[in-house]
Structure 1
Amino acid sequence: MRDYWTDHHGKRWVVPQILGRLKPGKCPGHAALREFVIHRDSGKCRDCGSTDVRRLVADHILSRRNGGSHHPDNLQCLCQSCNARKSVLVDRRAC
């Protein structure tokens, strides 16, 4: 895996540089990071295996609310349906 990704302006970011520039709740180059995660995960939802790239998202394994980061190691490729189901399960556990 590469230790960099390119944002929507074409700027290449080394992962440690990305982490130093992030503000809580903000992710510069979200589209490029999403593309990086989808490519890394072979264009498949890690849960159900869906390959409909229009419905794939970069999901935080450990949510931002619970201290997770935008680092690629904390992101996984999920389809929108699996991401929504995961969010409901995580919210139920928090109650």
Structure 2
Amino acid sequence: MVFLDLHDCEFKLPRNFNGFGCLTDLILENISISDDDFSSVVSKCPLLKRLIFMVFYGCCHLKLNAPRLQELVVEGVFDDIHLEKYSRVGHLVRRFGRR
């Protein structure tokens, strides 16, 4: 799987989640997700190039470890965003901003 688009759901990772090794595009819209699950799913997608994260609940500290990320769109209310490992974010959009 290289493309995952999830809408209108509660997102909880299983304890033994190993990631999506081939995923390049991830779209999460109108979902409930914890800070830890968000950080984990992003960091366990080593080929992730495009992340769209819009209208989310339960997550306010966005921690990203995505060295291949080229496009990041965040639309929602959050406290902070931290890009740990990245080298190529060419397109960054942040809408609605912080709490």
The alignment's TM-score, normalised by the length of structure 1, stands at 0.26
Determine which structure has the larger helix proportion and give its number: 1
Determine which structure has the larger strand proportion and give its number: 2
The alignment's TM-score, normalised by the length of structure 2, stands at 0.25
